[in-house]
Structure 1
């Protein structure tokens, strides 16, 4: 059985496209189709559903892909080793990220990655569930929140910096809060997840410098709750109320254009007692691969320290 057939099949499984697979391997699409058809005859199973809109794995194809995936990765690692460090990074890298973080940042950063390493292919999976990277075959994982002991190699990207803000139209009608306690009299747009509605925590200006810290816990209320942060940000832009989210959830343009105005910038806030972080993680055996290492390094450099999303362009320091 030809190794090309397995590589073509694995790429079709990732991209869902014969055309994209042919483009990646620089062969005619007919060659990809012919090799995969021969593979299906060899194993005696239909591996792909084909129609005019998309190509999907059959149940047998899903099982077969999971079984050959690790074998192909071992072969790729062997190729990297024999070719040496000077070879151009290429192949498939699997990335997992939370839904909002992936759609707002990782997708955009991939443009620069492809410019730098055109032979790379990325499989990006976005989910807010904590996956098992070994079982799912993930090479790199972005985790937002408190990091549990996972046995993975990790690098802290940043502490999350929270931003309290509202639209200019809302503030024109209702005024600005002068303290966290004033938020009880404002329309607050509240995130409600599996743990219930969030409470907002604020630390007074200068707290911690004298060795003591006072935290104000505010139970906020308003006209809209949602388990989707981006829905609440859009509602705030429409003048519905005040939102409180990490800086990475906002677009810089909305502050530069003063669609959103930052509130109480001298107060440090979060939605938990202790601030949380964003980490980049990888199973140790994956990070040994050159292609995974260069993607790891690219993201850390592209995001920067502090991360680029903390600069919202309004002249106010994110705390």
Structure 2
């Protein structure tokens, strides 16, 4: 196998390892499935090890393949960065950009901006993966990972996109029937729809001015681990909800939900809660990553557009 074919085989191997499907990779690459299989078979023959186990339902990595995929990803990333520099892609970035984001945030605030991003940079192909599980971008081959909350200690470079802020809201129909709570203490007399995740019920905290946040007791007829279900119930006039502004701003813009307790600052956790962009250090030299980070920061704005509406 020539070196050129070996390089193509490496890229196809990474794609199959990521997608878990020969046919999906072949379709995206515009190749026959038999061609993808042939390249990877030749790679395995050259290495003297099976890298992938194929069966009728799935493709998975062998132990050797798992070790190999991590190394190959970093090598190909470094090669792409070096090639970009030689080609002068700082002015015309190109290549495939792998983005990983939480499901809800990705749907609301990443996917809607991609058309404009790719209009500005038509040479960039985006591979967007949405998952709420924290991933290691190095082992998963992601260029940029977007995560919300306190960051773990890691070797990744982080850039803060925005603080995460919360707002309490309810439908006009609920307020017409029950009135708006004048203070957070009055929430005890209202039907509060509470998010309940893996760590239990989400606390509701408020403060006025520079006072410390303090929790307030809330109760209601509905708890759920699905934010969209609680938002739907609130829009139907069932009660009050507390969620981040980025999740609620479109409902507020359309006046389906109205902010309440606007003289108080709301919070759900006492820890520093923010939205961060994470990426391996070597990706900082990649033009496609640099332009995406700058574009997303520009599109979000300071303060972020979802705060300007929800907290005004």
TM-score (norm 2): 0.83
* 1:219 match: 217
Equivalent residue runs for 1:109-258 within 5 Å: 109-204=113-208, 207-208=209-210, 213-252=211-250, 254-258=251-255
Q: Is 1:21 the counterpart of 2:43 in the alignment?
A: no
1:74/1:289 CA distance change after superposition, 3 Å: same
1:170/1:292 CA distance change after superposition, 3 Å: same
Q: Is 1:285 the counterpart of 2:289 in the alignment?
A: no
CA contact (8 A) 2:163 2:274 kept: yes
Shift of 1:275: 5.1
Tell me how far apart the structure 2 counterparts of residues 188 and 62 of structure 1 sit (CA, whole Å): 50
CA contact (8 A) 1:201 1:270 kept: yes
Shift of 1:159: 1.7
Tell me how far apart the structure 2 counterparts of residues 4 and 135 of structure 1 sit (CA, whole Å): 20
Shift of 1:151: 3.6
CA contact (8 A) 2:26 2:36 kept: no
* 1:74 match: 78
* 1:264 match: 261
Tell me how far apart the structure 2 counterparts of residues 119 and 62 of structure 1 sit (CA, whole Å): 31
Shift of 1:38: 3.8
What's the Cα RMSD here? 2.8
Tell me how far apart the structure 2 counterparts of residues 161 and 130 of structure 1 sit (CA, whole Å): 21
1:218/1:71 CA distance change after superposition, 3 Å: same
* 2:305 match: 308
Tell me how far apart the structure 1 counterparts of residues 148 and 51 of structure 2 sit (CA, whole Å): 39
Q: Is 1:297 the counterpart of 2:294 in the alignment?
A: yes
Q: Could you report, residue by residue, the CA deviation over 1:64-100 in whole angstroms, capped at 9, with x for unpaired residues?
A: 6545322322221221122235552122222222222
SS at match of 2:110: helix
| Structure 2: runs of 5 or more not aligned | none
1:149/1:6 CA distance change after superposition, 3 Å: closer
Tell me how far apart the structure 2 counterparts of residues 163 and 71 of structure 1 sit (CA, whole Å): 45
Q: Is 1:317 the counterpart of 2:311 in the alignment?
A: yes
Q: Could you report, residue by residue, the CA deviation over 1:21-54 in whole angstroms, capped at 9, with x for unpaired residues?
A: 22xxxxxx34x75254243245255858698xxx
Tell me how far apart the structure 1 counterparts of residues 212 and 11 of structure 2 sit (CA, whole Å): 58
TM-score (norm 1): 0.82
